[in-house]
Chains A and B, each alone.
Chain A
Amino acid sequence: MHYKEFKIKWGMVIDIDKCTGCGACMVGCQVENNIAPMTKSDPYNYVQALTKPRDDASNKLRTLTWMNVYELSNGKAFPEHETAYLPRPCMQCGNPACVPVCPVVATEKNEEGGIVSQIYPRCIGCRYCMAACPYHARYFNWWDPLWPEGMDKGLSPATSVRPRGVVEKCNFCHSRYLQAKDKARLDGEDPMNLPEGAYTTACADICPTKAITFGDLNNPEHKVHELAKSPHAFRLLEKLGLHPQVYYMSEREWVRKQGDNYNAEAGGHH
């Protein structure tokens, strides 16, 4: 459909067989991107009690988890039972469902790297993009962001803090991309041809089992270029035709099947 190719295509290959479901990626993402922790009471809002208290982190349907780890099961009984863990950032789709629907162009498919950006000061909070994204990769700010006292001093100056009422999502730690390009320019290198490792995301950085590999899918010198072509690689909901830039890998067939509503008899969608 509207699928366009760009010179650089930042992407991830996540090896599900390596992921232990520890959740370090979720924490790394939260810290890197100034995601406010969920706090139950707001000391500055006196009318809060009239409706209901704010949600704390126990309400998983209200948290801001740009990176979310899902638990997969093969559905069999013990001793054949198996589980797997599937970390889910924004897929930075090549043909994103979220971008064309936004009425105010608050989200865009960036031609430089293929990252889907989110412009917070422009978002009107209509949540149409959330309704569009099948990966649930978009999150709404239900409450004013609040940091426990002292913690606000630990915020990263590189990332903007989002107000209540806008939608936010993973952007492959875009500030790190900017920093990597700046550094390349200072060092007299080509910012449009970053070497492996010069730019990587917080979740890939922190993963203790190295299940997440990050790089330019179009650059043969980057590991992801090869990994994405592995016979065990697959993409989530491939058949819907959103062309995600995040690939998964697993040697287990039941895992791959769950990635794409696998239906062997039917033809492909595109």
Chain B
Amino acid sequence: MDSKLFPEGVQRCSFGKFLIWTAVILAFFLWGLYAAVLVLYNGIGTTGLDNYFGFGAWITFDLAVIALGAGAFFTGLLKYILKIKQLEKIINLTVVVGFICYSGAMLVLTLDIGQPGRAWFGYWHPNVHSMLTEVIFCITCYCTVLIIEFVPLVLEQKQLNKIPFIHALAHNMHVNMALFAGIGAFLSTFHQGSLGGMYGVLIGRPFAFREGFFIWPWTFFLFVLSAVGSGPVFTVLVCTFMEKLTGKKLVDFKTKALMGKIAGTMLTVYMFFKILDTWAWATGYLPSVGLTFDQMFYGMVYGKWLLYTEIVLCGVVPAIMLITPSIRNRPALLYTAAILDCAGVSLNRYIFTVQTIAFPAMPFDKWQVYAPNWVEYASSIMIVAYGFLVLTLVYRYLPLFPQERELN
């Protein structure tokens, strides 16, 4: 029915099947939308957040998707600036994934702030000392850059591209893409860093506070490294998931393994510094404020197992797997490492957000346990559903995978 709209020379499922699939996604989306409307109407009191946990599931979700969306800027940087040619086979997908992650994160943020109508104050009354100001600036600008990078892909849609003007426009945008990749890389590095810096500057929160390096705390660099150490393999996972769903080969394994190698190298660097950082924090900073490493953990919910899972199982292990060619080149092992890697970075964002606040800084205060409620889950699932929807449409109608024809 809509086969005229498909990219040149590819097969897509029937229109009926497509409708059923879309309807399932829409059901999830609408459930989340319902939750989001309730939040906007009734206020954030409807969530599981409270006076202790001003930050919770939404911020964790935001930070995690932003880190995982880092594949877009980092791959773009390697492809356009360092001219690694092979990456062009997956670059379109990284842009789309990045776009979904960032626009999704911005949607969640509008729910998360108490006064969404004032979101633009970040531009109007900026506090140059606040890491969050930097985040607001960079995220909005970078989201715009991602849209600019996304547009030529839309313009390449078979029917649209027949119009001479659009054809020329798409071509010209492509020619200048290196510029946007450069701007994107700059903006993205900064806000990935500022997100980490946000925690590192919390002078009153011994769990997260880190001393500075120039004007930045260590966490600034740790967040950048962890994002580039996981973003590329997240794209690989998305791609593989799409292959499993559609039963087609979309990107050759060599490219995926290259992405694994890139992420693995960055992850290894990250793990080196992360372990050093944890060590210095435990043996240097904590005693200086009268605290011990053991005091930073509590029961099962905030136990040390979280830290070890993050650093060893989901950090060192995937790092070794990804930098070892014989392991990386076996698909099942590459995907396992990628899953561990992404889980580790998400866990890191969770620990930094929730445990930081849960720790009772005042000695007579108590640990608090935070549990998100359905409103927070549903609205986060809405974003995931939104991502599925965008990917579905893009896959069906836009030339996303340059290799698809030759591989199938």
Contacts and interface: CB of A to CB of B under 8 A. Distances in A.
Interface of A: 1, 45, 47-48, 50-52, 54-55, 59, 61-63, 70-73, 86, 95, 97, 100-106, 122-128, 130-136, 139-144, 163-167, 236-237, 239-242, 257-263, 266-269
What are the 10 tightest A-B residue pairs by CB atom distance, in nearest-first order? A125-B114, A165-B114, A127-B54, A263-B290, A134-B204, A142-B45, A134-B361, A61-B50, A261-B290, A97-B204
Contacts of A167: 114
B375 to A, nearest CB: 6
A261 B118 contact: no
A55 B47 CA distance: 12
B50 A263 contact: no
B38 interface: yes
Contacts of A166: 114-115
B125 A122 contact: yes
Contacts of B201: 100-101
B114 A97 contact: no
Given A86-B364, A103-B133, A131-B205, A164 B290 contact: no
A134 B205 contact: yes
A193 to B, nearest CB: 32
Contacts of B90: none
Contacts of A100: 127, 129-130, 201
B54 A260 contact: no
B363 A258 contact: yes
A47 B203 contact: no
Contacts of B42: 45, 47-48, 51, 143
B203 A61 contact: no
B43 interface: yes
A131 B356 contact: yes
A261 B363 contact: yes
B51 interface: yes
9 contacts: A54-B45, A102-B130, A103-B126, A103-B133, A123-B118, A130-B51, A132-B205, A136-B362, A142-B44
Interface centre among B115, B288, B357, B365 (most CB of A within 10 A): B115
B41 interface: yes
A163 B118 CA distance: 13
Interface in B27-73: 38, 41-46, 49-52, 54-55
Nearest to B132: A103
Contacts of B204: 97, 132-135, 237, 240, 242
Interface in B273-304: 287-291
Q: Is the interface of A mostly helix, strand, loop or mixed?
A: loop
Interface of B: 38, 41-46, 49-52, 54-55, 112-115, 118-119, 121-122, 124-127, 129-133, 135-136, 198, 201-206, 287-291, 356-357, 361-365, 368, 375
Contacts of B54: 127-128, 130-131, 140
A126 B131 CA distance: 13
A140 B290 contact: no
Contacts of B51: 61-63, 130, 136, 139-140
Contact of A261 (B38, B122, B133, B289): B289
A125 B133 contact: no
A237 B43 contact: no
B205 to A, nearest CB: 6
A45 B129 CA distance: 39
B202 A95 contact: no
A263 B286 CA distance: 11
Contacts of A135: 204, 361-362
Given A97-B203, A135-B362, A240 B289 contact: yes
Given A54-B45, A165-B114, A263-B290, A101 B52 contact: no
Contacts of A106: 125
Nearest to B120: A124
A261 B130 CA distance: 28
B137 to A, nearest CB: 9
B46 A101 contact: no
A263 B356 CA distance: 21
